[in-house]
């Protein structure tokens, strides 16, 4: 189970809106200004993400929750997003290379690769949308209200 912490920002019956902070894979984006990935991440991404889930239980606005998503759903989404466009690129290049004897030269392989990658990206994007609608995080634990300690 992949776990993340989130804070309840709104409750409407069984609907919860939870705010989750995005983190980098290496966890150094907040502490390092020398990383190029950190600079790009800060420039183009929002640090907060809102998730809406349906959940039974006693939750109040401000509660800190431990959320979980099954690993198999995460791996399936990653496979769609990364592998399908790559397979499309390679498959398109092979088909374009196969068409080369018709007189198009290497341009047919390049064009085939571009078309295959585009089709793979489109398929992956639509599959990711379907997966995100089916996959909903579950509340693993209510950690209560978040308190600030000042020293």
User: Which pLDDT tens digit goes with each residue over 107-137?
Assistant: 888 888 999 999 999 998 888 888 777 777 8
pLDDT attached to residue 151: 46
What's the pTM value of the predicted model, to 2 decimals?
0.57
Percentage of residues of the chain with pLDDT beyond 90: 15
User: Which pLDDT tens digit goes with each residue over 72-93?
Assistant: 887 888 888 889 999 999 999 9
Domain 1-70+137-151: which topology? OB fold (Dihydrolipoamide Acetyltransferase, E2P) (2.40.50)
Domain locations in the chain as residue ranges: 1-70+137-151, 71-134
| Alpha-carbon span 134 to 132, nearest angstrom | 5
């Amino acid at each position: 189970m992949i776990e993340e912490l989130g804070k309840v920002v709104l409750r409407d019956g069984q609907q919860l809106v939870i705010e989750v902070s995005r983190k980098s894979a290496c966890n150094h984006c907040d502490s390092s200004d020398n990383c190029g990935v950190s600079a790009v991440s800060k420039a183009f991404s929002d640090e907060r993400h809102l998730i809406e889930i349906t959940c039974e239980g006693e939750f109040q606005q401000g509660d800190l929750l431990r959320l979980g998503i099954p690993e198999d759903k995460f791996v399936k989404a990653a496979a769609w997003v990364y592998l399908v466009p790559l397979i499309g690129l390679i498959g398109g290049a092979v088909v374009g290379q196969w068409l080369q004897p018709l007189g198009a030269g290497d341009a047919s392989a390049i064009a085939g690769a571009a078309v295959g990658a585009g089709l793979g990206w489109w398929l992956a994007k639509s599959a990711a949308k379907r997966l995100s609608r089916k996959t909903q995080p579950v509340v693993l634990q209510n950690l209560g209200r978040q308190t600030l300690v000042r020293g």
